[in-house]
Amino acid sequence: MEAMADLTVAALPYYQAGMALEAWWHARRESRRGPTAGDYEWRDTGASLGMGTLSLLGPMVTAPLVRRLDVKGGRWGRVLLGTVAVAAGATVAADAAVRLAEHRRDGVRAGEVPDRPADGATTGAGTAPASADTPRSRWMRRLRRVAGSAAVATVASATVATASTWASHTTARRMFRHRALPDLGNGPLAWAVALVGWDLIYYLNHRLMHTTRFMWAIHVVHHSSERYNLSTALRQPVADPLGIFVPYGVLALLGVRPDIIQHSRAINLMYQFWIHTEAIDRIGPLEKWFNSPSHHRVHHGSNRRYLDRNHGGILIIWDRLLGTFEPEDPEEPVVYGLTKNIDSFSPLVITGHEYADIARDVAGADDWAERLQFVFRGPGWAYERHRLAADTADREKAAV
């Protein structure tokens, strides 16, 4: 993972001046119209600025770490692969033991006496109740915990190994050495290819982060605020190395120099800063072509009709062409945040809450098919499973 371009750091005064001006505007408006979701709240703003700072410092730590975890040449790559193999083997063995124990429980052999509760009580025709704490039930719970823990270790180590190797081998500098087209130099053509190409790849990756849960775990940081102002733009993830992205380095294969690619990244981020505001309504005819505050407010909405829409960076044409565009409706105000908000301003919780949820889901799943779906299917699929499980539990309680 390459270091962030210097332009992004140089833009800090631009960010600070923008937030100060917007805060002044909101303070004046609040005195006339009351509070809104665009107002600055010190805990929320502090969390956003903290995440922004971590996102700037993060590459200093993650870049060398990713190189060491590359399984094709990193110092710790083989150790990581060994961890994957051991954890996967433990999961398979524990799964097999659980299935065997369940088979024995559900198909008691002829003449075999079932386990009895610890107090010796029985129900029905002498069988223990399903909820009884028998030696066999305790053994099965232990086996499931082993299988769940080993599965989490397998998924985590395999993800880190794959992401680190992918990031190490798709850098712009590495790809530029193997470019398919001549060096485009520093002229207008090189900049045009870089800026438009970066924006298209950004759209694809941004859409991917909304449709695959382990990628959403990275991006959810940016959507975790229930407010929408310029400080929200700085609430950036620090776990990018854990993602498997469409490589921006592919632009280098077209002859774009790595430093121009990095500057294009910075320009894209700087553009997206100003669209995180309620202070600007529409930008007129340019709304057809360019991402705007109105378009991006939709993207940050938790309203059902606004979910997973308007993924563009600078240009909105990708959304219009590829079917993910949704205009802001004045009759349906945007509700910012997540469909289930985390109610925390802690950078640790903001960064890690979705990973913790994924780990719990993987640990509680019964087989590899379900485990992998919790990781790779969309976040909506997992949340719907949670809702159905909660509804089932409520019905069972009501029936007792």
In a domain, 234, yes or no: yes
As a whole number of angstroms, the distance between CA 397 and CA 234 comes to: 45
For residues 235 and 225, the answer to whether their CB atoms sit within 8 Å is yes
In a domain, 165, yes or no: no
In a domain, 77, yes or no: no
As a whole number of angstroms, the distance between CA 52 and CA 153 comes to: 29
Checking if the pLDDT of 110 tops 60, the result is no
In a domain, 204, yes or no: yes
Among 64-68, 95-99, 335-339, name the most confident range. Answer: 335-339
For residues 298 and 323, the answer to whether their CB atoms sit within 8 Å is no
Q: Is 143 exposed, middle or buried (0-12, 13-18, 19+ CB in 10 A)?
A: buried
- Structural domain including 51 reads 6-68+170-351
Give the mean pLDDT of the chain: 90
Give the mean pLDDT of 354-360. Answer: 97
In a domain, 13, yes or no: yes
In a domain, 297, yes or no: yes
In order of 70, 184, 241, 265, 299, the CA distances from 176 in angstroms are 20, 11, 21, 17, 34
pLDDT at 108: 52
For residues 230 and 22, the answer to whether their CB atoms sit within 8 Å is yes
Residue 290, phi then psi, degrees to nearest 5: -110, 150
**CB < 8 Å & 24+ apart, contacts of 220-224:** 220/338, 220/353, 220/354, 220/379, 221/51, 221/350, 221/351, 223/300, 223/337, 223/338, 224/337, 224/338, 224/341, 224/342, 224/350
Checking if the pLDDT of 266 tops 60, the result is yes
For the stretch 294-314, pLDDT in tens is 999 999 999 999 999 999 999
Q: How confident is the model at residue 387 (pLDDT cuts 50, 70, 90)?
A: confident
Residue 27: CB partners within 8 Å, gap ≥ 6? Answer: none
For residues 108 and 114, the answer to whether their CB atoms sit within 8 Å is yes
For the stretch 137-181, pLDDT in tens is 888 889 999 999 999 999 999 999 999 999 999 999 999 999 999
As a whole number of angstroms, the distance between CA 307 and CA 289 comes to: 21
Give the mean pLDDT of 204-223. Answer: 97
In a domain, 312, yes or no: yes
Residue in 268, 347, 293 with CA at minimum distance from that of residue 49:
347
pLDDT at 246: 96
Residue whose structure tokens are 């833009």: 11
Is the dihedral angle over the CA atoms 211, 213, 217, 218 positive or is it negative?
A: negative
pLDDT at 1: 36
Q: How confident is the model at residue 351 (pLDDT cuts 50, 70, 90)?
A: very high
Give the other-Cβ count within 10 Å of 78's Cβ.
Answer: 13
pLDDT at 109: 45
In order of 83, 91, 100, 143, the CA distances from 97 in angstroms are 21, 10, 5, 7
CA angle 125/127/131 to nearest 5° reads 135
pLDDT at 393: 79
**CB < 8 Å & 24+ apart, contacts of 214-219:** 214/159, 214/242, 214/243, 214/358, 214/375, 214/376, 215/243, 215/244, 216/354, 216/378, 216/379, 217/242, 217/354, 217/355, 217/358, 218/242, 218/243
Q: How confident is the model at residue 392 (pLDDT cuts 50, 70, 90)?
A: confident
In a domain, 302, yes or no: yes
Q: How confident is the model at residue 120 (pLDDT cuts 50, 70, 90)?
A: very low
pLDDT at 82: 96
Residue 278: CB partners within 8 Å, gap ≥ 6? Answer: 26, 36, 37, 38, 228, 229, 293, 297
Among 24-28, 218-222, 388-392, name the most confident range. Answer: 218-222
Q: How confident is the model at residue 6 (pLDDT cuts 50, 70, 90)?
A: low
Residue whose structure tokens are 């150790």: 79
Here the tokens at position 40 are: 């600055």
Which one is predicted more confidently, 91 or 139? 91
Q: How confident is the model at residue 206 (pLDDT cuts 50, 70, 90)?
A: very high
Instruction: Record the pTM.
Output: 0.89
Q: How confident is the model at residue 389 (pLDDT cuts 50, 70, 90)?
A: confident
What angle in degrees, to the nearest 10, is found between the helix axes of 379-399 and 213-223?
90
When divided into structural domains, the chain yields a total of: 1
pLDDT at 113: 53
